[in-house]
Amino acid sequence: MSADNAPIAVVTGGGGGIGREICKTLARRGHAVSAWDISEEGLGQTADELAADGLACHVTTVDVADPDSVAAALASTVDDLGSPAVLVHAAGQIDFCDFEDLDAGRFRRMIDVHVLGAVHVMQAVLPSMTEAGHGRIVNFGSVAAFSGSARHAHYAAAKGAIVAMSKALAKGYGPRGVTINCVAPGAIDTNMFAQVDETALSYYADNPVGRIGRPEDVAAAVAYLVGPDSGFITGSVLHVNGGMYL
Ligand SMILES: NC(=O)c1ccc[n+]([C@@H]2O[C@H](COP(=O)([O-])OP(=O)(O)OC[C@H]3O[C@@H](n4cnc5c(N)ncnc54)[C@H](O)[C@@H]3O)[C@@H](O)[C@H]2O)c1
């Protein structure tokens, strides 16, 4: 498939709430989609939901924190579909605790999954993107990186690092045909949001639009950023939060 016409897309976190919706949206737009996730069950649900819609999806398990696992996932995608020209890195986890209880192990796992995860998946796909002279990468920040929130400083730190890294890489890879942007969701109705603890609920739920976000809201933003009309946008953050952070 040509780079201008719905290229092959990898979606990490493709077995989760937002990632699954991104897989559906991109598949409907003609992308060949490869969903990567640590959860076999989540991937099964993604494949089933796309099939029910008459859409196909390649799936592969991966731990994005492990570069060997990422290399194996990429090999599986390339075998099945070819080299991706779109990467959406939506894999992630949430964790709440008071700062006094935040130990190094807990902090490191957050950094491993979100930040090193982004490093591993980008390093895996960038060589073929730069060789082709075309690529679209969307990483996931969060409103937590911009407006702060109690009890998940390590999550906020990881998301802030992803945003900063994406901006830095946008400068380096723009001349090589690859755009690198972030979406920063607010409260989106998924399993992850269901884990938000009571103390943070009102913080997340309060926004001018007056509702919790839907995975479709985020998927539409991602589809724009990986689509043909966004070639002059790189290093940016698209906030999808109903105005909770302005
Ligand atoms: N839902 C929200 O309110 C919200 C708000 C801001 C940002 N986000 C971000 O959006 C992204 C998607 O979140 P979601 O709401 O769909 O959550 P989700 O829990 O439904 O999906 C996350 C997916 O990531 C996968 N995952 C976790 N660790 C992994 C690993 N090491 N390797 C591979 N896959 C792994 C999980 O199995 C899960 O399927 C995440 O980056 C999250 O931080 C979500």
Residue 161 banded pLDDT, cuts 50, 70, 90: very high
Nearest atom of ligand 1 to the alpha carbon of 94: 43
Q: Atom 28, ligand 1: which residue's CA is nearest? A: 92
Kindly state the average pLDDT of the residues 187-193. 90
Strands (E), the chain: 9-12, 33-37, 58-61, 86-89, 135-140, 178-185, 237-240
- Would you please indicate which residues are annotated as catalytic (active-site) residues? 155
pLDDT on residue 154: 96
- Do residues 40 and 33 make contact, with C-beta atoms less than 8 angstroms apart? no
Q: How far is residue 184's CA from residue 207's CA, in Å, rounded to a whole number? A: 15
Domain range list for the chain: 9-240
Kindly state the average pLDDT of the residues 124-137. 98
Backbone angles phi, psi at 233, to 5 degrees: -110, 115
Q: How far is residue 92's CA from residue 173's CA, in Å, rounded to a whole number? A: 24
pLDDT on residue 200: 66
pTM over 0.85: yes
Number of residues that this document lists for the chain: 246
DSSP state of 211: S
User: Using one digit for the tens of pLDDT, what is the confidence trace for 207-220?
Assistant: 999 999 999 999 99
Q: Is the CB of 242 under 6 A from ligand 1?
A: no
Nearest atom of ligand 1 to the alpha carbon of 189: 1
Structure tokens at 127: 């060589």
Kindly state the average pLDDT of the residues 69-84. 98
pLDDT on residue 7: 93
pLDDT on residue 39: 98
Q: What is the per-residue burial (b if ≥16 Cβ within 10 Å, else e) of 66-77?
A: bbebbeebbebb
How far, in Å, from the CA of 24 to the mean position of ligand 1?
16
Q: Atom 18, ligand 1: which residue's CA is nearest? A: 16
Task: Report the candidate in 209, 210, 194, 200 with the shortest Cα–Cα distance to residue 156.
Answer: 200
Residue 195 banded pLDDT, cuts 50, 70, 90: confident
User: Using one digit for the tens of pLDDT, what is the confidence trace for 105-128?
Assistant: 999 999 999 999 999 999 999 999
The span from the first CA to the last CA of the chain, in angstroms, equals 39
- The mean predicted confidence, pLDDT, of the chain is 94
Contacts of 126 (CB under 8 A, 6+ apart): 135, 173, 178
Q: Is the CB of 45 under 6 A from ligand 1?
A: no
Q: Is the CB of 7 under 6 A from ligand 1?
A: no
Q: How far is residue 194's CA from residue 201's CA, in Å, rounded to a whole number? A: 10
pLDDT of residue 3 exceeding 60: no
pLDDT on residue 4: 43
Domain 9-240 in CATH 3.40.50.720: yes
Weakest-pLDDT range from 108-112, 146-150, 152-156, 157-161: 146-150
Residue 1 banded pLDDT, cuts 50, 70, 90: very low
Q: Is the CB of 188 under 6 A from ligand 1?
A: yes
pLDDT on residue 194: 83
DSSP H helices in the chain = 17-28, 40-52, 67-80, 104-111, 117-132, 144-147, 153-173, 191-194, 198-205, 215-226
